[in-house]
Structure 1
């Protein structure tokens, strides 16, 4: 009896150990699995990339089989938005903040205009390295982070010269572990498309065993245009003109050069897709391709969208956005919901399982509910703030609010008559007209923004303006003010003007 009791005691102790060990073991395994299953993230941002420049968005001239395949196997967003110019878009991506909140509302090397009706606000010229950037956030979740190509949110245009001058520690402060050496100055023939791509392929190879984030930041298809001669000649033989002016003539649109650049870009994206397949990473990688603003109107016709790069109309701010992530996104998904580049930050944060930093405000919403094809995404308002002059794009200080199907554009104190402005070349476009202006469009019914509804729907205008005013206050948006020294008889010229 004593022997049986002793054996029973040992058995109970053994079973207790098993019971205690099982949850610990299970927790350890699930934690390890969670780390292993964290998806890699590759974000490809294309410079000056028109909404309909991709085959699956309507380009019938250039074959873009790789981008089309991404859309076929993943999700195509038909109403994705950015800012009308580069720096504000890129700052919004890296910070997760609306430019109105971050203060980075203009291209960092834009000039000011002397004799203008409005004085533009003083704005931030450098993305603060102390902020909890997207790269820092992903790094905190165990990701190795890298960038190759264009920077343009602080100090300089391409990343490579900054790295050469200031070292990798400069980018470490922004959360990047690795920075490529690609620069369009070193590869003018194709604006460094292949240099950037090859560097990113090497980065993937080196980090294939652990989760990584690669920011593939292209210079193409920005002017001046450049593509491999063989591709340009291919389109010349098809009857398209080789450009006679590197800055573009609308009369030659589309040139063989812009068509060749688009095909070359698509080919480079295909190489990244092939690398992921070869390494067995494709199933566990979120691959995103997006434009940073519309294409330059002298090179590309955005019809049915109105206008082009630099404009507050759809051609300036609506861009292609394609996402592929086999484990989450069903093939052939098409998403009509309006989204913004600020949404990438919280989307990547959720995917990575990263923590939100206390007191760091982000404006975007995670797109995971949309990607999962459920109804958890409820936001229906987007804002845009660009309180600056860009006469070369017929652009005066303005803001936008889009709510549901409606879009309101507000000009603070003057506007340019934009009719036919794209036919001009390197001139100040349009006739300047004084006074505030409001335009209201139903984008769903009128994607070309031809029918201004503001006079017919004053209550909707007031509703939208109330939203916009409250948003200005909440974000602390930098605002333009009337220029008391404005002389309407003097030329509205490109002269240096001090920020107020």
Structure 2
């Protein structure tokens, strides 16, 4: 029987090898989305305030991107990742809601349709899981281990939904350890299939401060500091890489590490009675003191670290100046899944798969970000491209819709806006070029 089985298995393998789009040839994807981490945090970007050896090693042996741009806060960034479209495309949606019109065409559903097994762990900021516990499954995740949007603790004694059901065994544990373990178990279980493992980290977001009951503190009876969370984030990345090495999957797996937005401007550091005390966050980068910029459209809020690592495919030690934004992940993953036909023509993203393979540059020549003007649930504030501050930019120049133009090479912190009345011939031409790009892209801004 064994000999017959082996012959059949060999025949099956040969048949799979002959298929150009065989699942056998599709890389695994480990997509790590850190929470609230600006470029200045990581040592490989010149950060001096924290140690991130495991992430730095991914950069040293892989590809570090200098110009990756997010939305300024978590929900719009996650919506952009899932759909390959800017939030403004969806008109008036509430904070933390997901447009039903986009459910079938999420990157996870499309990867599932094209031969991948899909799993997610960590943060789910796209609905209230208590109201819709099967939402992750509907959006294409076969396995999920998630905390919901401000429904309960995410760190100590976390409230976790596993495949739509609340876990009852989390009380003694630290949430990030459970989320990391879930991703490792998912990769181990599916090591013989192409997998998409999406680790939507809790780290380094502060504890949730809007729960009716106090958020549990650590065993040391305090909240983790930002440096402690950075260290835990890096340790989790190290555990994931070690797991892939143990499974002998490193050369078959693309690791993509990115952050959802910049570093917070301040962080809850302790409780005084029922009051949660916050302090500002400053980090040193290349000798410069950098304030947190989350929730702003500055580089501190939207220019984020991104590292890719794929031994045997991505050459070591590359530093990339090409533009990337969060709409680009969906088409890139589908290209890697050998399913370019699944990429819709009406998304905003451009695949950078060729860039990863060393075969060319990114097709993106501009990027866009918008202020977080989505209303809270039950609110009536308008959203959309014309209702809040937004920008369009390239590597050198950045134009806001209020007319401010910045030379980002020489004015990184946006201290010297070029106004209409001060335009030179160069700035006037740049303004015209960016304006035309914006208007041609967003004439019809809503789906």
Q: TM-score range by the shorter chain?
A: 0.7 to 0.9
**Could you tell me the TM-score, scaled by structure 2's length?**
0.76
Match for residue 464 of structure 1 among 406, 430, 434: 434
Aligned equivalents of 1:50, 1:277: Cα separation in 2? 28
Superposed displacement of residue 46, structure 1 = 1.2
Superposed displacement of residue 469, structure 1 = 2.9
Q: 1:324 and 1:228, CA in 2 relative to 1: closer, same or farther beyond 3 A? A: farther
Superposed displacement of residue 208, structure 1 = 0.6
The alignment status of 1:295 with 2:263, answered yes or no, reads yes
Give the structure 2 partner of residue 405 of structure 1: 396
The alignment status of 1:262 with 2:247, answered yes or no, reads no
Q: 1:465 and 1:258, CA in 2 relative to 1: closer, same or farther beyond 3 A? A: same
Q: 1:178 and 1:347, CA in 2 relative to 1: closer, same or farther beyond 3 A? A: same
Give the structure 2 partner of residue 453 of structure 1: 418
Give the structure 2 partner of residue 135 of structure 1: 108
Aligned equivalents of 2:320, 2:154: Cα separation in 1? 39
Aligned equivalents of 1:449, 1:397: Cα separation in 2? 19
Kindly report which structure 2 residues correspond to 1:291-370, keeping only aligned pairs within 5 A, or say none: 291-298=259-266, 299-301=280-282, 308-357=293-342, 361-370=346-355
Aligned equivalents of 1:464, 1:360: Cα separation in 2? 22
Runs of 4+ aligned residues of structure 1 deviating over 4 Å after TM superposition are 24-28, 165-168, 181-184, 225-230, 302-307
The alignment status of 1:208 with 2:191, answered yes or no, reads yes
Deviations 1:314-347 (A, max 9, x none): 1110111111111321111111112101111111
Residue aligned with 1:45, SS: strand
Residue aligned with 2:238, SS: helix
Kindly report which structure 2 residues correspond to 1:423-442, keeping only aligned pairs within 5 A, or say none: 437-442=402-407
Superposed displacement of residue 216, structure 1 = 0.5
Q: 1:378 and 1:205, CA in 2 relative to 1: closer, same or farther beyond 3 A? A: closer
Mean CA deviation greater in 374-383 or 313-322: 374-383
Match for residue 201 of structure 2 among 218, 225, 233: 218
State the structure with more CA Rg. 1
Match for residue 241 of structure 2 among 266, 269, 273: 273
Kindly report which structure 2 residues correspond to 1:127-276, keeping only aligned pairs within 5 A, or say none: 128=101, 130-153=103-126, 155-156=127-128, 161-162=129-130, 166-168=132-134, 170-180=135-145, 185=153, 187-188=155-156, 192-224=175-207, 257-276=225-244
Q: 1:193 and 1:318, CA in 2 relative to 1: closer, same or farther beyond 3 A? A: same
| C-alpha contact (below 8 Å) 1:193/1:219 kept by paired residues | yes
Superposed displacement of residue 179, structure 1 = 0.9
Q: 1:187 and 1:399, CA in 2 relative to 1: closer, same or farther beyond 3 A? A: closer
**Could you tell me the TM-score, scaled by structure 1's length?**
0.69
Give the structure 1 partner of residue 169 of structure 2: none
Aligned equivalents of 2:417, 2:292: Cα separation in 1? 15
Task: Count matched residues.
Answer: 379
The alignment status of 1:108 with 2:108, answered yes or no, reads no
Deviations 1:110-158 (A, max 9, x none): xxxxxxxxxxxxxx754545431101111112110011121112x22xx
